[in-house]
Amino acid sequence: MTKLLAIDTSGEACSVALSTGGEVLEQFEVIPRMHARKLLPMVQSLLADAELSVNSLDAIAFGRGPGSFTGLRICAGVVQGLAFAADIPTLPISSLAALAQGVYRRHGHDQILTVLDARMAELYWAGYQVVDGRVLLIGEEQLTVPAELDRSQSLLKTESGWVGIGDGLKFAAEFPGHVLPAVTVLDEAFHVQAQDIITLAQYDYQTGLQVPAEQALPVYLRGKNAWRKVGE
């Protein structure tokens, strides 16, 4: 049985999950600015509950971003340390994809628009389609200003039936006119949960997408190595 540990601190929540083959255990807390203090004790507690050690794991999955700069650095640092010490690979998982996977798990929606506040008057966003129980990215994950949402990909111009989630939807008044008519906004607060990272990581592990500990790096979507911004 594949044993995977998953960790996410990309937002205000701190989440750790453990899959031992047939069962997924999770600890989840919304604890802004306390990730550095709480993350390792949560990992140790979860492993102790399952009577496992890090060395008995097959891989460690983590939310690699986009998200909070500080949270992503904390998560990547912990994952690198654990994976190096145990000599096991890692599985970087998009935080946007994990958020969409959570929407599917809880509500069954199969066309999901994730929109997160990236600060500096910009948004992280992406569209996902569910196939065989797993969210698949449509186009690219992007960093844009609100007025440019969906301008380059046109996901929402010809289709309806989308649901939108994320704190970036508070800027909906600035979105292009075609966006909101295609999207039903979910008002409840959603956070990335490590159990959804597990779901995505299981497929990546089975298809050989593991990377060594030194490649367990955050994705910020900013700077010279960021993904393309709309208009560039």
pLDDT in tens, 63-75: 999 999 999 999 9
Per cent of the chain over pLDDT 70 is 96
197: amino acid identity, one letter: I
Mean predicted confidence (pLDDT) in 155-183: 90
CATH T-level fold of 4-95+191-215: Nucleotidyltransferase; domain 5 (3.30.420)
pLDDT at 1 over 80: no
Mean predicted confidence (pLDDT) in 128-157: 92
Helix (H, G, I), strand (E, B), or coil: what is residue 196? helix
Tell me what pLDDT residue 192 has. Answer: 96
Tell me which residue has tokens 């946007």: 96
Residue 197, number of CB atoms within 10 A of its CB:
33
Q: Which two tokens stand for residue 94?
A: 């998009």
pLDDT at 221 over 90: no
| Two domains, one topology: 4-95+191-215 and 108-185 | yes
Q: Domain spans of the chain?
A: 4-95+191-215, 108-185
Of 25-39, 61-75, 171-185, 212-226, give the lowest mean pLDDT range: 212-226
Per cent of the chain over pLDDT 90 is 83
Candidates 127, 58, 68, 59; CA nearest to 97 is 127
- Give start and end residues of each alpha helix (H) in the chain: 35-49, 69-86, 95-107, 194-206
9 vs 223, residue with greater confidence? 9
Tell me what pLDDT residue 223 has. Answer: 52
DSSP single-letter state for residue 151: T
Q: Report the C-alpha gap between 4 and 6 in whole angstroms.
A: 7
Give, in order, the Cα–Cα distances in Å from 56 to each of 23, 35, 41, 83, 113: 16, 25, 18, 11, 37
pLDDT in tens, 174-215: 999 989 899 999 988 889 999 999 999 999 999 999 999 999
Q: Report the C-alpha gap between 109 and 136 in whole angstroms.
A: 13
CATH T-level fold of 108-185: Nucleotidyltransferase; domain 5 (3.30.420)
Mean per-residue pLDDT over the chain, rounded: 92
- pTM for the predicted model, two decimal places: 0.93
Tell me what pLDDT residue 227 has. Answer: 38
